[in-house]
């Protein structure tokens, strides 16, 4: 197959860029793959890209930021989309021309606005796959209305969690569109996993309010009071840095809580710790959770919508606590700090259980989805036939059909886990 990914800006930093690069590079081992970057603002991408993956920008902001058409508002890209202000009549034209001339078998859109372009402007021979890297419920009503109209022309829509796939099936009513969860993948680690002996808790990501690093710091104060030889290391940059620094000073934790700044790759930092921490109010997936687990760290996380509950098995490879509950978060950290053997056992379980997010399993699922989409498009039939993978898996494992129908989203995963015990 020839596969094209349509990406907002391949030259930036972010989870969608990382995930797209990971999947594109894995697919490039057996297919012809390119990434079409709508915007470009620097010479080279921040992240290394396999030379087998072609990279093609459409609008170079270094020369075209003041282009007359770039100063006029976009007409195709939906106005309610978060990135709307970065799009224009120029991006409309360039994306449209790119899709009109594209020779790919399948094009993969990577955000709602680009999925709309893909749905409305891709030629008839191209299989159209839209990706949702956030969640349906995260989008404002105006955007959901625009997506409902356009997405009917997609062949496949993927989400990063089963819960969000279920939400799209129930709320959007997209006849003929195959809706399936395709999790993000994390490359295989190159370093040996952590052995659980380091007295370090690690957290990483953008320093923004929704990630609640303030809660992690306040919860860790309980750990520091009882175990002053433990450290919390927070990696990342963002608008919350100064406020978090002030909180550390106010709590008298300067020797225990370190704001480390950004680190890439993070693997070398994860393996220096023994526990991962994440306290988001909202997490569409949770790449840092998987990264930490693949490096041998059990993760203490809030059980927020949507990702953590589908990644962590509470009490097996990490702990899930209520959103916003500082006391519960601190208690969960202390459980693992106090019990060396339990911490190491859960770290080993984390490595094993996170293998399902390795490139291999995710690549196999992605290839199967793309091949089916291409075959359905060529045959002129809907791609949605037999579209409920959760039900197929459950029935295949001996669950009653009636139970399988109702066991969707994170409930399905929990049913699967109970069946394995």
Residue 373 within a domain: no
Whether residues 100 and 243 share a domain: the answer is no
Confidence of residue 406 (pLDDT cuts 50, 70, 90): very low
Q: Is residue 296 part of a domain?
A: yes
Helix axes 409-420, 389-396, angle to 10 degrees: 20
- Mean of pLDDT values over 44-49: 91
Among 149, 181, 213, the domain-final residue is 181
- Note whether residue 366 is domain-resident: no
172 and 315 co-located in one domain: no
The count of domains in the chain is: 3
Residues 131 and 8 in one domain: yes
- 345 and 413 in a single domain? The answer is no
Distance between CA atoms of residues 14 and 282, nearest Å: 16
257-312 pLDDT tens trace: 999 999 988 999 999 999 999 999 999 999 999 999 999 999 999 999 999 999 99
Q: Determine the Cα–Cα distance for residues 388 and 408; give it in Å rounded to an integer.
A: 9
- Domain span at residue 410 reads 395-421
Specify whether 228 is located in the same domain as 299.
yes
**Are both 170 and 312 inside the same structural domain?**
no
With cut-offs at 50, 70 and 90, classify the pLDDT of residue 412. very low
The candidate with the shortest Cα–Cα distance to 279, out of 226, 326, 311, is: 326
CATH number at residue 145: 3.40.50.2000
- Could you tell me the pLDDT band of residue 388, with boundaries at 50, 70 and 90? very low
Least confident of 273-277, 279-283, 322-326, 411-415: 411-415
Mean residue pLDDT of the chain comes to: 91
Residue 163 makes CB contacts below 8 A (sequence gap 6+) with 305, 306, 309, 310, 409, 410
- Residue 355 above 80 pLDDT? yes
Shared domain check, 274 and 163: no
Same domain for 282 and 407, yes or no, is no
Share of the chain above pLDDT 70, in %: 91
* Residue 402 CB contacts under 8 Å (≥ 6 apart), including other chains: none
pLDDT of residue 296: 98
Asked whether residue 31 falls in the same domain as residue 172, the answer is yes
Burial letters for 2-33: b for 16+ Cβ neighbours within 10 Å, e otherwise?
A: ebbbbbbbbbbeebbbbbbbbbbbbbbeebbb
53, pLDDT greater than 70: yes
Predicted local distance difference test score (pLDDT) of residue 385: 62
**pLDDT confidence band for 416 (50 / 70 / 90):** very low
- Which residue is it, tokens 């220096």? 272
């Amino acid at each position: 197959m020839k596969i094209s990914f349509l990406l907002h800006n391949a030259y930036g930093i972010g989870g969608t860029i990382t995930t797209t690069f990971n999947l594109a590079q894995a697919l490039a081992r057996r297919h012809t793959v390119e990434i079409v970057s709508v915007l470009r603002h620097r010479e080279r991408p921040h992240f290394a890209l396999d030379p087998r993956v072609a990279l093609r920008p459409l609008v170079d902001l270094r020369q075209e930021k003041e282009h007359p058409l770039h100063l006029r508002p976009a007409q195709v890209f939906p106005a309610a989309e978060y990135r709307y202000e970065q799009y224009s009549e120029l991006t409309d034209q360039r994306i449209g021309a790119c899709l009109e001339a594209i020779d790919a078998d399948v094009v993969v859109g990577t955000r709602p606005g680009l999925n709309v372009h893909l749905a409305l402007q891709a030629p008839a021979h191209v299989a159209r796959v839209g990706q949702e890297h956030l969640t349906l419920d995260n989008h404002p009503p105006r955007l959901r209305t625009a997506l409902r109209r356009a997405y009917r022309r997609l062949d496949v829509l993927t989400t990063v969690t089963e819960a969000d796939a279920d939400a799209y099936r129930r709320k959007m009513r997209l006849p003929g569109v195959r809706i399936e969860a395709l999790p993000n993948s994390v490359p295989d680690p190159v370093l040996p996993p952590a052995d659980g002996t380091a007295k370090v808790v690690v957290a990483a990501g953008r320093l923004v309010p929704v990630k609640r690093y303030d809660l992690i710091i306040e919860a860790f104060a309980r750990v520091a009071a009882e175990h002053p030889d433990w450290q919390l290391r927070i990696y990342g940059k963002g608008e919350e840095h100064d406020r978090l620094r002030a909180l550390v000073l106010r709590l008298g934790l300067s020797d225990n809580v370190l704001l480390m700044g950004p680190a890439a790759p993070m693997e070398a930092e994860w393996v220096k710790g023994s526990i991962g921490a994440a306290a988001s109010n909202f997490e569409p997936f949770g790449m840092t959770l998987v990264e930490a687990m693949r490096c041998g760290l059990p993760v203490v996380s809030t059980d927020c919508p949507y990702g953590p509950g589908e990644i962590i098995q509470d009490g097996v490879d990490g702990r899930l606590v209520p959103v916003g509950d500082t006391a519960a978060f601190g208690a969960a950290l202390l459980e693992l700090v106090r019990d060396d053997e339990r911490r190491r056992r859960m770290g080993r379980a984390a490595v094993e259980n996170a293998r399902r997010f390795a490139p291999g399993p995710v690549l196999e699922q992605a290839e199967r989805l793309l091949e089916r989409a291409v075959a359905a498009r060529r045959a002129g039939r809907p791609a949605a036939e037999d579209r409920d993978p959760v039900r197929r898996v459950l029935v295949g494992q001996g669950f009653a059909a009636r139970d399988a129908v109702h066991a969707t989203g994170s409930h399905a995963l929990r049913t699967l886990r109970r069946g394995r015990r």
